[in-house]
Structure 1
């Protein structure tokens, strides 16, 4: 692969860091707890996935699928093998853009954005068969009703190409990266279609990390869940509003501990996954809506 190729997506992060002194009385006689507003400028770039990104990509897939019976190693290798579509997000290094040496194999992967053809790749990839089985099982066992049945029909269809969108990143990567990532992926898919590759999808499916608040028990001894969904990736709320089908199910039993970068409190929030399906003709609308709401041009 041409390892020097980059797809740029820069952004800045503002962080509020709460500093708590171990001593209950600070040196200046204060309370020992002070809030510091620290502004940090961090630049990210979207790069073509390469072999050295395997473990970083697999970690991101793990935070999505948790204990699901899916061969994440095979899925990570698939993402790398189809590196002409999609990207990984890494921190921008202060080096010469034209240098072949500006890709540090030790660079952590902060995010991954790609699409896998479920319809075609289920013929030769076990991990894709497992993703389809996972979706079918959740739709059948989680009381997802008619919408669940529609998802089952779509993922099992042979008459339409179904793209499985993977949009994963760590929590501290800001939403401003979302629109450039979706737009870059769109351009990659168009180039692939022009080369007679099968990336002309009829449907897209996305599994989103989501949460619902636990409510007080109502006499039956169990927890009720609130109706409002919260999303780890804020842009997924926009996608949910534009999606044709949306179903959610709990994954609380699949979590041994809090996934790195997660913000939920297990005592007050229940971990969910939300499956969204939208027709391909809405993809451009999603990009424009993200840009509009984020003030991007």
Structure 2
């Protein structure tokens, strides 16, 4: 039986929708949406969580058995959260969960994820601490945090998920369950803007120009990642393995001059720093008055 998470106040998303019949930018409607937090439920959440995992892993999602990964997340319903709008029977708009890499390392689908993360970390010197942990004969008790949300879901839904996860881990430890982690490895994604192939083909004028050298700033799908960096042993991005054609970056852009190139992103935090990181996320993303 599903239970709604106990939170006190709901987060309200104030989404602005422009009035199509007016050219005045000051005219818009405000859509208030109440978000609710639930335990993951095997009976209703398989499709929603699997879809969010596909979004999280982006073009490399095809490399993994996401059905098995979703089943594992749903096998521990007292750990982690989903965020929904229209009640428990609907698909999740966001989710957060943690998996014990040491406990599940012998499962083929988890072994493939571990080898993938090891390979990606080896490609980036800043991720050397991850390589050191994942290369040990016996992998330490690392908590792999997986979290994703639909693109228009406000970041204010995130702090309650992390706060509740921290509490649930503590309760699980008290019950002698295998969640006494030494580290947390958080998977995420970033993006950079890239010059548009469409503009080049159509000889369109470039409205946005970068400084000499053509470097583009790394941007975050999850703004809480920048907070987590402050507490991290290491963090860094990596390219996806699945190659895309030249038009892929343009397919990711919307109402802008530049294309979008997503990258995978990994953050490693020592367990003794996790509480402070969660508190900082709550402060950084607290709803505006």
Given the two structures, how large is their TM-score scaled by the length of structure 1?
A: 0.79
CA offsets per residue over residues 33-69 of structure 1, 9 Å max, x none? 3433322221111111112210110000001112431
In structure 2, the CA distance between the partners of 1:122 and 1:167, relative to structure 1 (3 Å rule), is same
Aligned-pair CA distance for 1:17: 2.2
1:162/1:205 contact within 8 Å kept:
yes
> In structure 2, how many angstroms separate the alpha carbons of the residues matched to 1:127 and 1:159?
16
Aligned-pair CA distance for 1:244: 1.3
Aligned-pair CA distance for 1:159: 5.9
When the two structures are aligned, how many residues end up with a matched partner? 265
2:191/2:262 contact within 8 Å kept:
yes
Please list every run of 5 or more consecutive structure 1 residues that lacks an aligned counterpart in the other structure: 22-31, 94-102
CA offsets per residue over residues 166-221 of structure 1, 9 Å max, x none? 121112211111111101001111111111111111111111111123377999xx
Bigger drift between 237-246 and 156-165 goes to: 156-165
Aligned-pair CA distance for 1:151: 1.1
The aligned residue for residue 3 of structure 1 is 2
For the aligned residue pairs, the C-alpha RMSD in angstroms reads 2.9
Higher share of residues assigned strand: 1
Aligned-pair CA distance for 1:233: 1.4
2:57/2:264 contact within 8 Å kept:
no
> In structure 2, how many angstroms separate the alpha carbons of the residues matched to 1:44 and 1:261?
27
CA offsets per residue over residues 46-102 of structure 1, 9 Å max, x none? 111112210110000001112431110000010101111111111154xxxxxxxxx
1:66/1:254 contact within 8 Å kept:
no
The aligned residue for residue 112 of structure 1 is 95
> In structure 2, how many angstroms separate the alpha carbons of the residues matched to 1:199 and 1:264?
44
In structure 2, the CA distance between the partners of 1:213 and 1:70, relative to structure 1 (3 Å rule), is same
In structure 2, the CA distance between the partners of 1:4 and 1:268, relative to structure 1 (3 Å rule), is closer
Once the two structures are superposed, the pairs formed by residues 1-297 of structure 1 within 5 Å of their partners are 2-8=1-7, 10-20=10-20, 33-35=23-25, 36-51=27-42, 52-68=44-60, 69-93=63-87, 103-104=88-89, 107-123=90-106, 125-140=107-122, 142=123, 144-145=124-125, 147-157=126-136, 158=138, 160-214=140-194, 224-226=214-216, 228-251=217-240, 254=243, 267-295=258-286
In structure 2, the CA distance between the partners of 1:188 and 1:266, relative to structure 1 (3 Å rule), is farther
Given the two structures, how large is their TM-score scaled by the length of structure 2?
A: 0.81
> In structure 1, how many angstroms separate the alpha carbons of the residues matched to 2:33 and 2:193?
32
In structure 2, the CA distance between the partners of 1:114 and 1:264, relative to structure 1 (3 Å rule), is farther
